[in-house]
Structure 1
């Protein structure tokens, strides 16, 4: 569409220039020249036609370019390292060569995922992402990375920061991929909560930045 718009603009300019350069005068019997009404009308018509081509070309170039840009962005994302556009399924950026995590299409939640799993103590199975750290500097780095991603800390120990809990392991995996895109690495761990706390955990998931 955009290419057609450019062609229409060029054609319109050519028609307008040709119309304005038309000689609308004719030779009289006495050797002079006078303007011919028919030729003047033709010049006016060609000028109007060229103007229509020009305006239509501009509109096609503008709106055709916007729709094309929207179509290109479908199924693409920004590289977290160089900010250039890459495919969602890409594992290496074609621009900077960095390794990136592929993003898979969201799958519908199955009935099995919606059903709760209980242990012998009546606790409900959930999942957390545990992010390890070995010293104070790494602890601060992990904490700052979570703040940037908008994912809240659920709990912490002397060597781990945990986020979650999530009722589905796939959801925890998606969060871990999001964290890896921000240079945060961790492991998915099983986590058991009381049934009434399970509702609170689900509310926490809905508030996580996606």
Structure 2
């Protein structure tokens, strides 16, 4: 509780609005977990993963990378953070799409702050 009030681990700026679209409650302990989780990090319950439904069009975050190790490392960071990836081509990691521009902006900010990764916004029609 004190950490949340003082800006501790649970208060990463901009992450809350983005995370709420990719999370759900554990059916056993009711703590918040990612949709892709197959085991609750709070109580250890084994649960079924839930696919995130993404819109076919909308705002994406595009991260240009060198093919090979840089692309794979960036893709791994994006996946471990639970963001939806849209058809990567080996040179650009694409996150989204998001229906709202603000959701994509929050992902872009979080990537910059948490991982020093820079990208650009794009609208996919």
Report the TM-score range of the alignment, normalised by the length of the smaller protein.
0.5 to 0.7
SS at match of 1:129: strand
The equivalent residue for 2:4 is 73
Aligned length: 86
- The correspondence of residues 60-139 of structure 1 with structure 2, limited to 5 A, is 70-71=1-2, 73-74=4-5, 76-78=7-9, 103=13, 126-139=58-71
Give the Cα separation in 1 of the matches to 2:124 and 2:101. 10
Give the Cα separation in 2 of the matches to 1:105 and 1:154. 20
User: Is 2:13–2:110's contact at 8 Å kept on the other side of the alignment?
Assistant: no
Bigger radius of gyration: 1
Give the Cα separation in 1 of the matches to 2:96 and 2:87. 9
Question: Is 1:179 aligned to residue 92 of structure 2?
Answer: no
Listed one character per residue, the Cα deviations across residues 172-192 of structure 1 (whole Å, up to 9, x for unaligned) are 011122222133321111111
What runs of 5+ residues in structure 2 fail to find an aligned partner? 18-55
136 and 105 in structure 1: CA distance in 2 versus 1, 3 angstrom threshold:
closer
User: Is 1:149–1:179's contact at 8 Å kept on the other side of the alignment?
Assistant: no
SS at match of 2:115: coil
Give the Cα separation in 2 of the matches to 1:134 and 1:103. 29
What runs of 5+ residues in structure 1 fail to find an aligned partner? 1-69, 79-84, 89-101, 108-123, 193-210
72 and 161 in structure 1: CA distance in 2 versus 1, 3 angstrom threshold:
closer
TM-score by length of 1: 0.35
TM-score by length of 2: 0.55
Give the Cα separation in 1 of the matches to 2:72 and 2:81. 14
Give the Cα separation in 2 of the matches to 1:158 and 1:105. 26
Greater RCO (Cα-Cα under 8 Å, separation 6 or more): 2
158 and 179 in structure 1: CA distance in 2 versus 1, 3 angstrom threshold:
same
- Determine which structure has the larger helix proportion and give its number: 1
TM-superposed CA distance for 1:104, in Å, is 5.4
